[in-house]
Chain A
Amino acid sequence: MKVTFMRPATPETELLSAPPGQAVRIVRIAQDDEHTAWLRAVGMHEDAEVTVLRRAPFGGPIHLRSSDGGEFAIHRDLARCIRVTTLEPRASAEGAPDPARSGRVA
């Protein structure tokens, strides 16, 4: 069971502006090939789903869960280069009854 429902025609935004708890789908990654390859290696590529879990204090990095179930922190500048559309919003990242990290309920 995958708890993601596509909302049709949601506007495109930066991953950086997605609030904690928000599930998004990556539309475009405006980065050079090397960085794009790095992101791909951790399951972040066009059409992949990502959930923003939290932001570090003082404008630090962003904590995400990729569609592969892995969790990563990426720098804000990188998050600014990733264009996304929002999916079904979730209640709250912190303490939300999320499926566990390895935890996509298959």
Chain B
Amino acid sequence: MIALLGRPNSGKSSLYNALTGGSARVGNFPGVTVDILQGSVAIPGAGGGVATLADLPGLYSIHAVIDPATDEGIARGFLDRAEAGEQPLIVAQVIDATQLALGLRLTREILARGSSLLVIVTQSDVLEREGRTLDVQRLQAAIGAPVVLVSVRVGDARGVVMEAVRGLLAKPLAKPVSDWEPAALARSVLSDAPQVSPEATRRRTFTTRADAVLLHSIFGPFLFLALMALVFAAVFLIADPVTAFFDSSVGRLRGLFTRVLGAGLLTSFLTDGVIAGAGTVLAFVPQIAILSVAMEVLDASGYLARGAFLLDRVLRLLGLSGRSFLPLLMGHACAIPAIASTRIIRDPRERLTTILVVPLMTCSARLPTYALILTTFFAGRGAWFKAAVFVGLYFTGILSGLVASLVLRRTATKGRSLPLLLEMPSYRMPEWKMVARKGWQSASRFVRDVGRMIIVVAGVLWVLLKVPAPAALQTAPESAPPIEHSIAAAIGHRLEPVTRPLGFDWRIDVGLIGSFGAREVMVGTMGVIFGIEDAGDDVSPLSQKIREAKRPDGTPAYSMRTALALLAFFVFACQCMSTVAAIRKETKSWRWPIFVLVYTYGVAYVVAFLIFQLGGLAGLS
């Protein structure tokens, strides 16, 4: 077994990909609760065999472990268990050549443990371009362990590393030495090339010069916010045409099925249930792929750490830190990749808090419902008014998330945080292969994990809406339209007493049952209830029907108060089973997803109740 170990940002993942050719699966290691990638690598030479390569989480130090649940703790626990195991273990430490002294600190700790160590110094090409050379022989002699210098971009990194592994297996370490001073050793083995070109000098100072602008105390925060706004705009601008294309393809597919199979219950199940559900899934894929690509570019380039630096103070007021910013921003498109992206937050309590408040951010799945409500109840108001309400809804989401994190950090996720110690890595050009792979991985993971959920929800909802309820549960008169005889209507009617104080009747309740699985089905469900085909394409006929809807006593079913209460409900409630599943996956427990459901639905109910009741007292219609 070869354990790949290194500081965060040391180029470990790139090397892992170079060694395994990108084939990675999440290893099933006992006692390890986070994903550790593992792959197989062939050891060259006769009888070399195959070794397992495990990519451990990045760590700064083996000694300085505060919490076993942090990356450090996990990597150290893994090493402890692997060394106690029967398989021979080689610790392959990855060091960024331009951060040699820092890497050597960890080397010294590994040697002091007595591990069988191979040091892999990466970024040889960057070192060369900066006009420096590394004396590998001298470094090897000083630490008493083999050292190789490679780059994943040029040359045969895999061949060099595996040859060194073979050598180490054939001839174990003679005398590891750990009583040297990292900074002094780094100075003695690194030297300038005989001629340092102006280009090399320029490269060396690039990060310093870039930081002078990007971390400027006035322009820095503005540039950061502008860049984030750009990323966000790109998500919608690029994703929208792709989503529209998927939409029309799905529409054509539904038409095709109807033509081939003829109208009927099975066709309806396939087209209105399964294919419509699949279409909903596809609509979110472009956004998610673009977001994860943007995030990988920001992270790999070194800029993400700068953003965290700039925003740390503001977020710290709320019990979070700079690292929480990106997940919270991503939550405005979709909570699922946002929750996965909280892995960049090193502090476990802060990460948990961020996971718990991300569902409050205004994800794009809420927008169709917001649009429907605005069109229906604020039709007489101008575009500016509607825009202001939209912006207000976004800010309500952000504000509620911040208040929630403030409260959580004093209650459910109370406790000491890790001290802020944020590495500011040198700026690097991201590796486009890694970036593309990240985009592909997150898109396919979304389709696999979330897609299944949405299709199941769409299927179940179809059954609830189309299948008549047993006679015992029927409440509607026989002459009523078929939808009123459905199972969903029966459930909706039984929920009415609970939701009446919020102004919701059975029809909204049915919509809410559907949105419990995925909020994007709300508009479609309301369309089915009011007998409008394809309500998603044009909401005005549906708006009309909703405005005209009557209670059994003939009074209007919905008012402005209902609209505001429903908006509030959608702002707060975590109506998304996929988010719940994502939280379950990231926290490895049912406790937190259930907590999120209870607290968001609780808040949604209370706020909607207050708005409806106080609105009534204030004389709102």
Q: Mark A71-98, 1 if CB is under 8 A from B, else 0.
A: 1111101100000000000000011111
CB of B212 within 8 A of CB of A95, answer yes
Q: Mark A39-80, 1 if CB is under 8 A from B, else 0.
A: 111110000000001111111110100111111111101100
A98 → chain B closest CB, angstroms:
5
Residue in B217, B419, B422, B423 whose beta carbon sits within 8 Å of that of A57 in the complex: B217
Residues of A contacting B418 with CB < 8 Å? 38
A4 CA to B182 CA in the complex, in Å? 19
CB of A73 within 8 A of CB of B182, answer no
B324 → chain A closest CB, angstroms:
14
CB of B313 within 8 A of CB of A57, answer yes
Quick one: closest A residue to B218, CB to CB? A57
A35 CA to B426 CA in the complex, in Å? 24
Number of A-B contacts (CB under 8 A): 156
CB of A43 within 8 A of CB of B183, answer yes
B221 interface residue (CB < 8 Å to A):
yes
Interface residues on chain B, number (Cβ under 8 Å): 55
A3 interface residue (CB < 8 Å to B):
no
Residue in A54, A95, A106 whose beta carbon sits within 8 Å of that of B191 in the complex: A106
Q: Which of B80-123 contact A (CB under 8 A)?
A: 98-102, 105-106
- Given contacts A37-B61, A38-B61, A56-B309, are A102 and B314 in contact (CB under 8 A)? no
Residues of B contacting A61 with CB < 8 Å? 309, 312-313, 322, 420, 422
Residues of B contacting A70 with CB < 8 Å? 99, 101-102, 423
Tell which of A40, A71, A77, A97 has the most Cβ of chain B within 10 Å: A71
A52 → chain B closest CB, angstroms:
13
CB of A102 within 8 A of CB of B99, answer yes
Quick one: closest B residue to A95, CB to CB? B212
Interface residues on chain A, number (Cβ under 8 Å): 44
A66 CA to B421 CA in the complex, in Å? 12
CB of B102 within 8 A of CB of A57, answer no
Residues of B contacting A7 with CB < 8 Å? none
CB of B63 within 8 A of CB of A68, answer no
A27 → chain B closest CB, angstroms:
18
CB of B419 within 8 A of CB of A102, answer no
Residues of B contacting A58 with CB < 8 Å? 313-314
Q: Which of A1-59 contact B (CB under 8 A)?
A: 34-35, 37-43, 53-59
Residue in B61, B204, B209, B312 whose beta carbon sits within 8 Å of that of A60 in the complex: B312
A24 → chain B closest CB, angstroms:
16
B607 → chain A closest CB, angstroms:
31
Quick one: closest A residue to B206, CB to CB? A100
A57 CA to B61 CA in the complex, in Å? 30
Quick one: closest B residue to A59, CB to CB? B313
Q: Which of B309-357 contact A (CB under 8 A)?
A: 309-314, 316, 322
Residues of B contacting A68 with CB < 8 Å? 99, 101-102, 105, 182-183, 186
Residues of A contacting B314 with CB < 8 Å? 58
Residues of B contacting A102 with CB < 8 Å? 98-100, 130, 132, 204, 426
- Given contacts A56-B312, A57-B313, are A72 and B205 in contact (CB under 8 A)? no
- Given contacts A56-B312, A59-B313, are A106 and B190 in contact (CB under 8 A)? yes
CB of B183 within 8 A of CB of A71, answer no
CB of A37 within 8 A of CB of B208, answer no
Residues of A contacting B218 with CB < 8 Å? 57
Q: Mark B196-237, 1 if CB is under 8 A from A, else 0.
A: 000000011111110110011110110000000000000000
Quick one: closest B residue to A75, CB to CB? B420
CB of B310 within 8 A of CB of A57, answer yes
CB of A74 within 8 A of CB of B421, answer yes
Q: Which of B380-439 contact A (CB under 8 A)?
A: 418-426
If over half of B's interface residues share one DSSP class (helix, strand or loop), that class is named, otherwise mixed; here it is: helix
Tell which of A43, A56, A99 has the most Cβ of chain B within 10 Å: A56
B119 → chain A closest CB, angstroms:
16
CB of A43 within 8 A of CB of B216, answer no
CB of B309 within 8 A of CB of A63, answer yes
CB of B212 within 8 A of CB of A41, answer no
CB of A100 within 8 A of CB of B205, answer yes
B471 interface residue (CB < 8 Å to A):
no
B187 interface residue (CB < 8 Å to A):
yes
B60 interface residue (CB < 8 Å to A):
yes
Tell which of A40, A59, A68 has the most Cβ of chain B within 10 Å: A68
B500 → chain A closest CB, angstroms:
47
CB of B208 within 8 A of CB of A60, answer no
Quick one: closest B residue to A36, CB to CB? B64
B192 interface residue (CB < 8 Å to A):
yes
A53 CA to B424 CA in the complex, in Å? 12
A101 CA to B96 CA in the complex, in Å? 13
Residue in A43, A53, A78 whose beta carbon sits within 8 Å of that of B105 in the complex: A43
Residues of B contacting A39 with CB < 8 Å? 421
B260 interface residue (CB < 8 Å to A):
no
B154 interface residue (CB < 8 Å to A):
no
Quick one: closest B residue to A48, CB to CB? B183
A33 → chain B closest CB, angstroms:
9
B66 interface residue (CB < 8 Å to A):
yes
A92 CA to B192 CA in the complex, in Å? 25
A68 CA to B310 CA in the complex, in Å? 24
A43 CA to B192 CA in the complex, in Å? 23
A54 CA to B316 CA in the complex, in Å? 19
A36 → chain B closest CB, angstroms:
8
Tell which of B60, B106, B420 has the most Cβ of chain A within 10 Å: B420
CB of B426 within 8 A of CB of A101, answer yes
Residue in A37, A60, A69, A96 whose beta carbon sits within 8 Å of that of B310 in the complex: A60
Residues of B contacting A73 with CB < 8 Å? 305, 308-309, 312, 420-422, 424
B121 → chain A closest CB, angstroms:
12
B318 → chain A closest CB, angstroms:
13
CB of B221 within 8 A of CB of A57, answer yes
Top 10 A-B pairs, shortest CB-CB distance? A41-B61, A100-B204, A60-B313, A37-B64, A68-B101, A102-B98, A75-B420, A71-B424, A73-B422, A41-B60
Give me 13 A-to-B residue pairs in the complex whose CB atoms sit less than 8 angstroms apart, sorted by A's number: A38-B60, A41-B64, A56-B215, A67-B183, A68-B102, A69-B100, A69-B101, A70-B101, A70-B423, A72-B421, A73-B309, A74-B420, A96-B208
Binding site for A on B (CB under 8 A): 60-61, 63-64, 66, 98-102, 105-106, 130, 132, 182-183, 186-187, 190-192, 203-209, 211-212, 215-218, 220-221, 305, 308-314, 316, 322, 418-426
Given contacts A56-B215, A57-B313, 5 further A-B contacts (CB under 8 A): A38-B64, A40-B61, A70-B99, A78-B419, A102-B100
